[in-house]
Amino acid sequence: MAVDHQRRQILRAARFMPNVRGVEASTHRVGSREALWLAPARSRGHGAVLYLHGGAYVLGSPRTHMNVASRMARQTGLPVLVPVYPLAPASRCPAALTDARAAWAHLLDCGLPPERIVIAGDSAGGGLAVALAQSLAGEVEQPAAVVVFSPWVDLSLTGETICSLASADPVLSVDYLGWAARTYLGGRIATDPEASPLFGDFAEFPPLLIQAGGREILLDDAIRLATAARATGTDVRLELEPELWHAWQLFAGLLPEADSALARAAKFIDARLPAR
């Protein structure tokens, strides 16, 4: 399918997700772009989650990921900012990372203390969250934690499960990921850390939660990410669900395992935020 048609299809599917009570949605401006601001009725205080949506760098928007982001807001008691970032093929690497940094800077400009901001994301958005945290290393402002669901952190597709789980993965295909990677990279080397943060520097990396499914071809991305981060002394929690698939958290409200995963993520976040 043409990219525009793919985008319309996933947006249409997102409209069938159940409504999330207790969260108010509004549009927010981040520079020249729009973002979705999801504020829980029961707030836990000053802070926020910056959520970067997935979609292989070619699909997705704040609206397609409104369900999972809204449920994160309700579970954590923190408002969630879901920014728009430019997609390929119109925009290539590192355009998404540039806009993710702008969204981070926007939260700081709003007066939010960096130690009360969590960076999160799923799939390509999970990889983007890791790349954003790496880009902040050495700066005064550091996030409280990074939370990623089925992160895509190696656009060179060298993980063992890319092939070994190809027939078991009900969501992703090797051919599609290969096409998406080439489209986003636009000729850039696939192991460039701005696109594939697995090959970046994890020194001074914030506490990291990784959730991945045992039936996804990106399983090895999650395992190698945990190994690389732990090697530098990073506080890492890796949660693997053997029978689940890529980014199952997006089905929160329909799938009990997704609700449980978000509850664990909220608990991880709460433990790493400063006391109220």
- The catalytic residue positions are 123, 216, 246
Give the whole-angstrom CA distance, residue 187 versus residue 178: 13
Residue 187: is it exposed, middle or buried by C-beta count within 10 angstroms (0-12/13-18/19+)?
exposed
Residue showing tokens 């700066």: 139
Query: Which ranges in the chain belong to alpha helices (H)?
Result: 3-14, 66-76, 95-109, 124-135, 161-164, 174-185, 219-230, 256-272
Q: Report strand pairing: 23-30 vs 33-40.
A: antiparallel
* Amino acid, single-letter form, for residue 148: V
**Helix, strand counts (H, E) of the chain:** 8, 8
* 150: enclosing H helix or E strand: none
| C-alpha count within 13 angstroms, C-beta hemisphere, residue 143 | 29
Of 105, 92, 108, nearest to 135 by C-alpha is 105
Angstrom CA distances, 28 to 25, 113, 128, stand at 10, 19, 20
Contact predicate 171/50, CB 8 Å: no
